[in-house]
Chains A and B, each alone.
Chain A
Amino acid sequence: MKRRSVLRLGAAALAAPAIIPGRAFANDPIRIGAVAPKTGPLAGGAAVSHWPNIALWSSQVNERGGLNVGGTMRPVEIIEYDDQTNPGETIRAVERLANQDNVDFILAPYGTGLNIAAAPLMDRFGYPQITSTCITDQVVDLSGQFSNMFFLLGGATGLAEGIVSVLAGMRDAGQIGGNVAMVNVADAFGIELAAAGRPALEAAGFNLVYDSSYPLGTQDLSPVMRGAKDAAPDAFIGFSYPPDTFGLTEQAQIEELEVGAFYTAVGASFPAYAGRFGPAVNNILGAGGVNATSEAFQAYAAAHTEVAGQAPDFWASAMMYASLQILEAAIETVGADREAVSAHLKETTFDTVNGPVTFDEHNNNPEYWTVGQWQDGLFRGVASTGREGAVDAVVKDGWT
């Protein structure tokens, strides 16, 4: 006990010079909290789409001297917490960032569930929450309840309808038939997308010949793929998460599933996916997408690779970076004032790596990519709700 209080005194003495008034206030950093999984089931996705962008953005900002807040250049200081993919930990970390670390801003957490878990606290403490990985159809409810919560990546229905419209286009062009096999991971994301996909497929006149779900973390997907293959579909839809996105694709390759359109959801846009399947990845469809050949994305990807040592994925990575660009622009315009930043977000169009972003009356970005496709080494957007640069979807021809 005694030793601890001595230590505390010592720490206070060391910290004291920093709080003497008038000393170097010009370079006071803007403190920004970040909480997302570094361990747990979502850590793999966060390591691809979330964390590298924070490192990239903070290094870029600090390299040019910091954020320009009312004429003074203030560097950014990132305080990171691992929430272990546990909503309870996310909430605790937000509380800690707000009360103990006294950060100026908190970046939105990673994933749909963790963002929704953090929303009430973020709202209570008045932090704007610019989500870039929160896919939900509850946008209207959520933004009605939490007026500082913003949504960039789109909704479940939009994503599901996106792939259905791509398939419908291919069918109407005579490229594929009307039989579809659909599987989903039995987790919030997969269930919500499958629920949105079923009526959309029916409305588009497709025949659902196989419809099944499997538990998260299933180690052997061969019975699933086998069932799909036996139904002899013309197109395959898998509303899947990264480990099973890889598993379904490998199993389809082994079973030589002959479909003109093969779609898996989260993970299909990851560089590791292309790395694993090599040329077989060509013409695989997946959730998301970017305008991969645009100058803005190319420059971003190059900087990402240089700073983070890995390429960004072709969907959420760029959106995460866009959320940081939006925060940066807002702070530079109205200062490090949370309320003013939230108000500014609602009334401005921001220039981002994904093109201009304007939030609608429900704090939602209405223009997002829904489907991408691997074409010649790039995962290119083929369908969106209003983004520029979409290319035509191509029929998949075999697995080699």
Chain B
Amino acid sequence: MYIIITGLLLGGSYALIAMGLNLQYGVARIMNLANGEMLVAGGFVAFWLYTTAELSPFLSIFLLAPVVFALNWLIYRIMLLPLVRRAKTRGQLEVDSILATFGLSFVAVGLMLAVFGGDYFSYSYLARSVPIAGDTFALNRVSAFIGAAILCGLVYLWLNRSRVGLSLRAVAVAPESARLVGIDVAQRSALAFGLGGAITAMGGALVSSYLTLDASTGVIFTLKALIVVIMGGVGDVRGTIVAALMLGILETFVATVIDPGLTLAAAYGLFILILLFRPQGLFGRASA
């Protein structure tokens, strides 16, 4: 029971980290390597608001979301759209966008160093224990998990129940055909990219309540997000959530029952197994 709950809590963090990247990669077709930096930036802002104005990270995400959405929307329109227009194939766009966002990640690290400095930033928020099913858990992790569940639920509902969501899914499945039925692909992609960035930054704000971050930690989160997205299947929200929870439970299981030193090995082992037997990801469609 302890393993399951701890694993779910960890998986919730992974889902938060990966959800934004899934939208950006699945719909906008941008493999955003600066994803982790956006997460750290969100964490920075939450830290700053908490230490200066005592604003809870659960409130600062509402301030953060529109600003980061606008920022990412602009990044897409200005920096990435020319790449999309230029790319003849999906493969070429992937290579171009990986290179471009790789560069962007350095710019982001540099900007954060200039603005916030290189120091660790961490604060204590809801660092209390809550009893669940006879065990004690960290309240900040539990709250972030609830936040993650709400966020993922909303994204899932929105994608599957709304008209805009439908068009986003259409773009994810077949960008060329989507254009034929009157969907403005560039505009929808910018929307997905901005939204993905906003979700990532909100995730950063939530995880900053229990993780210690600094300007250079972004790449760790990018890698984790990448694994989760690829395991879950590109462009499928359910896949991301399931993969994130699987990873969380597996890591906790290995750490508790076998040895904490083997968590990384177990995570990458699972990753390799999935790549071997389901290369398109758990919920992904086989590419035509």
Q: Inter-chain contact count A-B, CB under 8 Å?
A: 126
A72 sits at the interface (CB 8 A): no
CB–CB B122/A272 < 8 A:
yes
A interface SS class: helix
Bound state CA distance, A267 and B138, in angstroms? Answer: 22
Q: Are B128 and A254 in contact (CB under 8 A)?
A: yes
Cβ-defined contact, B127 with A44, below 8 A: no
A220: B residues at CB distance < 8 A: 6, 9-10, 13, 141, 248, 251-252, 255
A70 to chain B, nearest CB (A): 37
In the complex, are the beta carbons of A250 and B256 less than 8 A apart?
A: no
Bound form: Cα–Cα A251–B251 in Å: 17
Quick check: B211 and A219 within 8 Å, CB to CB? yes
- Residues in chain B near residue A37, CB distance under 8 A: 216
- List CB contacts (< 8 Å) of A197-215 with chain B: 212-215
In the assembled complex, B58 has its CB within 8 A of some CB on chain A? no
Q: Is A189 an interface residue (CB 8 A)?
A: no
Q: Is A227 an interface residue (CB 8 A)?
A: yes
Residue pair B127, A253 in contact (C-beta under 8 Å): yes
Q: A47-B118, A247-B212 are in contact. Are A278 and B124 (CB under 8 A)?
A: yes
Q: Which of B67-75, B166-174, B227-235, B259-267 lies at the binding interface?
A: B259-267
Given the complex, which residues of A lie within 8 Å of B110, measured CB to CB? 39
Query: What chain B residues lie within 8 Å of A275 (beta carbons)?
Result: 123
* A43 contacts B by Cβ under 8 Å: yes
Evaluate contact between B122 and A43: CB separation under 8 angstroms: no
How far is B211's CA from A361's CA once the two chains are assembled, in angstroms? 44
- The answer to whether A254 and B118 touch across the interface, beta carbons within 8 angstroms, is no
Tell me if A223 counts as interface (CB < 8 A to partner B). Answer: yes
Knowing A39-B109, A39-B216, A243-B211 are in contact, say whether A251-B259 is a contact too (CB < 8 A). Answer: no
With A41-B216, A218-B263 as contacts: A226 and B120 at CB distance below 8 Å: no
Contact of B255 among A223, A243, A254 (CB under 8 A): A223
Contacts of A44 in B (CB 8 A): 118-120, 214-216
CB closest residue in chain A, given B130 = A254
Residues of chain B contacted by A217 (CB below 8 angstroms): 220
Chain B neighbourhood of A278, CB < 8 A: 124
Judge whether B102 is part of the interface by a CB distance below 8 angstroms.
no
* CB contact between B124 and one of A40, A51, A277 (< 8 Å): that residue: A277
CB of A176 within 8 A of chain B?
Answer: no
Q: Which of B211, B212, B255 makes the CB contact (< 8 A) with A224?
A: B255
Q: Is A69 an interface residue (CB 8 A)?
A: no
**B residues within 8 A CB of A270?**
120
Q: Contact check, B260 vs A214: say whether CB atoms are below 8 A apart.
A: yes
Chain B residues, Cβ within 8 Å of A224? 255, 260
Enumerate chain B residues within 8 angstroms of A242, measured Cβ to Cβ: 120, 212
Are B120 and A227 in contact, with the CB atoms below 8 A? no
CB atoms of B118 and A38 under 8 A apart: yes
User: What 1/0 flags go to B233-255 for Cβ under 8 Å of A?
Assistant: 00000000000000010011001
User: Which residue of A37, A219, A275 has the most chain B CB atoms within 10 A of its CB atom?
Assistant: A219
The chain A residue sitting closest to B255, CB to CB, is A223
A310 in contact with B127 given A214-B260, A251-B138 (CB within 8 Å): no
Residues A255-304 near B (CB distance < 8 A) = 255-256, 267, 270, 272, 275-278
Specify which chain A residues have a CB less than 8 angstroms from the CB of B212 in the assembled complex.
Answer: 242-243, 246-247
* Complex-state Cα separation, A310 to B119, whole angstroms: 10
Interface string of A52-87 (1 = CB under 8 A from B): 000000000000000000000000000000000100
Give the complex CA separation of A271 and B222 in angstroms: 29
Please tell me if B2 contacts chain A, counting CB pairs below 8 Å. Answer: yes
Whether A276 touches B122, Cβ cut-off 8 Å, given contacts A39-B216, A253-B127, A254-B129, is yes
Determine the distance from Cα of A324 to Cα of B13 in the docked complex, in whole angstroms.
43
The contact sample of 11 A-B pairs, CB cut-off 8 A, is A38-B118, A47-B118, A47-B214, A48-B120, A223-B252, A243-B211, A243-B217, A246-B120, A246-B122, A254-B127, A310-B117
Question: Which A-B residue pairs are the 8 nearest by beta carbons?
Answer: A47-B118, A223-B255, A44-B214, A214-B260, A246-B212, A44-B120, A243-B212, A223-B256
6 further interface pairs, Cβ-Cβ under 8 Å (given A218-B260, A254-B139): A212-B259, A214-B255, A243-B120, A243-B217, A272-B120, A310-B119
Binding site for A on B (CB under 8 A): 2, 6, 9-10, 13, 109-110, 113, 117-124, 127-129, 136-139, 141, 210-217, 220, 224, 248, 251-252, 255-256, 259-261, 263-264
